[in-house]
Structure 1
């Protein structure tokens, strides 16, 4: 990533920009501008790009593991865990907040084990198996 910004910086130095466009020669400004535009256009995706990195995912052959450091003041009675095939959502965080974790592979949402140890939520999810069978379909010839 850094080399791409270096290439951009070298290219921008050689450009003859009109007055007022000098700011485009600063790669940090360009990166911040792109990040703001992504946040406005796709807030869910931008949250994963710039996210707090509070959730860590790991993957084995059959399972996906998620570790989420719970913020101080989390109430165990309010905490809720919701799982879809591609996303894990933790509701009931302090301040009425929630955290959405995009999963690296599809999972079976009904098969889940969740525990809290030392202030960290550990979630174990079963991967959805890949179908190895072929399905034959007819072809229409007009």
Structure 2
């Protein structure tokens, strides 16, 4: 699969980071145009202030001059809380295609009153998707492969 062009890559990452097509800061890295990496990096930066230079510099550093898509995805995983990591790994290894309400009971026993927030954060960071009307978990194959590898 060929990557997106420079303009399309910037627009996709900007949509996930700023909820608009053009960035407010000099965020010009394009993750070689890989849509999943652009979405994950954009989602990582979504709640960061546009003047928080350290966050932006770290993101650019993590992408690097020669972006490695699995490394970019790993960086996003590394930034998760312990509970978010555990739930992400459970989904990657066992719960893709399963209904959310069926798994909620399992996790509530392990992590009382923390599950819904963790799932929401994973979804906002583009690491999982919850598809309606089945309300079931899905994730990109590269993310699932990474989770299974971990």
Query: What TM-score bracket applies, with the shorter chain setting the length?
Result: under 0.3
Larger radius of gyration: 1
**TM-score, length-scaled by structure 1:** 0.24
Higher helix content, 1 or 2: 2
**TM-score, length-scaled by structure 2:** 0.23
